[in-house]
Structure 1
Amino acid sequence: MKNLLKKISIMTEKLERFLIMAGILVMMANSTANAIGRYAFNKSIFFSEELNQFLIVGVTFVGFAYAVRKGRNIRMTAVYDSLSQRAKKILTTVIALTTSLLLFYLAYLSVLYVLELKSINRLSPALQMPVYYVYAIIPVGFAMAGLQYAMSFVMNLLHKEIYVSFDVTEDKTDKGSAL
């Protein structure tokens, strides 16, 4: 089971890294080109702001999944830190399961939203492209984050240590960054 989860983890991490890196690089190139055009040639790229807004949506939702993978998601530990090791393990396992289910449900709802956008054929103002293309990344981000929590849940069931993500145990997290 762990080998299958490891393969899934490796594959999704590569996809997440590529999407985040590509999104940020395109935002940087777009913003730079727009600034050069505006100040050097007195002409802005008419779709620059809209493109950056779309890229921010993608980077946000895929970045969320990547943060969960690395155990860098926000965790409220005021009560958690006062619990016994066994209670921490149970709480972490329950949180991983419920969060995974919630994120999969949000992915489902966002698929319905994207399908609704497609059915009304809503176009973006500047690029005149169907907006459902852009918003299709939202269910992907939710599903990828849900998958990370599901894998954390499985790891907590199979191992003695407390797993905050598939590869990260509680003792490997930076205690100073946990909230």
Structure 2
Amino acid sequence: MKKVLMWLDDNLEILLCGLLLTAITVVMSIQVIMRYLVGQALPWPEELSRYCYIWITFLSIGLTIRTGSYFRVTAIIDLLPEKLHKVMEIFCHLVNLVFFGACAYVSIDIIATVYNSTQSSPAMRIPMYFVYLVLPVGMFISVFRTIQMLYLNIRALITGNDLKGAQTEAESIIEAIESENNDKEDQV
């Protein structure tokens, strides 16, 4: 179970975005074949591809947080001493946490409004709340990843390790807790 959770921690967003990108590729290839070889275009592939692209956009926010590859301007922060640099990283993650938390909170109201409107998509006739569901899903994943990075950055600041060292230490703590829980289950 631990290996599955660790794998999901490392690859959840990559897996979901990869599946959606594959769906876009397959659906648009079918559309090209239908349009140019059969002479009859399907009405729904562009819409499905658009919705998949929107899902990819919101799901990838968590991935960029986890990998630290999101866009940010660090010209001034990079000039700071290492310890103050780590403190500023923590502050930036706190600001991100407030922003993503607010977005997650607001997105729930948006979903409720869209759900109550009974609006459906033009071509596929699916309820639009399925499309809008990516807002809270993406924002809650972003909140989770931001909390994860906050924890790792605080651990790195306390221990004096770099971020990778803090991540390895966090994994060791998780393994110790799981081992202790497994020992308790074996005794029962």
TM-score by length of 1: 0.82
How many pairs align?
163
Return the letter of the residue paired with 1:147.
F
Return the letter of the residue paired with 1:22.
L
Residue correspondence of structure 1 range 47-86 to structure 2 within 5 A: 47-86=44-83
- Distance in 2, Cα, partners of 1:146 & 1:104: 6
Relative contact order (alpha carbons < 8 A, sep ≥ 6): 1 or 2 greater? 1
Unaligned runs of 5+ in 2: 169-188
- Distance in 2, Cα, partners of 1:10 & 1:75: 27
- Distance in 1, Cα, partners of 2:4 & 2:107: 27
Match of residue 105, structure 1, among 88, 102, 113: 102
| Matching of residue 18 in structure 1 with residue 9 in structure 2 | no
Match of residue 130, structure 2, among 116, 128, 133: 133
Task: Work out the percentage of aligned pairs sharing the same amino acid.
Answer: 21
| Matching of residue 34 in structure 1 with residue 10 in structure 2 | no
Match of residue 147, structure 1, among 144, 147, 150: 144
Return the letter of the residue paired with 2:89.
T
Return the letter of the residue paired with 2:107.
S
Report if aligned partners of 1:69, 1:167 keep a CA contact under 8 Å in 2: no
Report if aligned partners of 1:124, 1:130 keep a CA contact under 8 Å in 2: yes
- Please list the CA deviations of residues 76-100 of structure 1 after superposition, one character each: whole Å capped at 9, or x if unmatched: 1111111111211111011111201
Greater fraction of residues in helix = 2
Return the letter of the residue paired with 1:11.
L
Q: Which residue of 2 aligns with 1:95?
A: 92
- Distance in 2, Cα, partners of 1:88 & 1:44: 55
Q: Which residue of 2 aligns with 1:43?
A: 40
CA RMSD of aligned residues (A): 2.3
TM-score by length of 2: 0.79
Shift of 1:163: 3.7
How has the CA–CA distance of structure 1 residues 63 and 167 changed in structure 2, closer, same or farther, with 3 Å as cutoff? farther
Residue correspondence of structure 1 range 160-175 to structure 2 within 5 A: 160-161=160-161, 163=163, 167=167
Shift of 1:140: 0.9
How has the CA–CA distance of structure 1 residues 18 and 97 changed in structure 2, closer, same or farther, with 3 Å as cutoff? same
- Distance in 1, Cα, partners of 2:143 & 2:163: 15
Report if aligned partners of 1:92, 1:162 keep a CA contact under 8 Å in 2: no
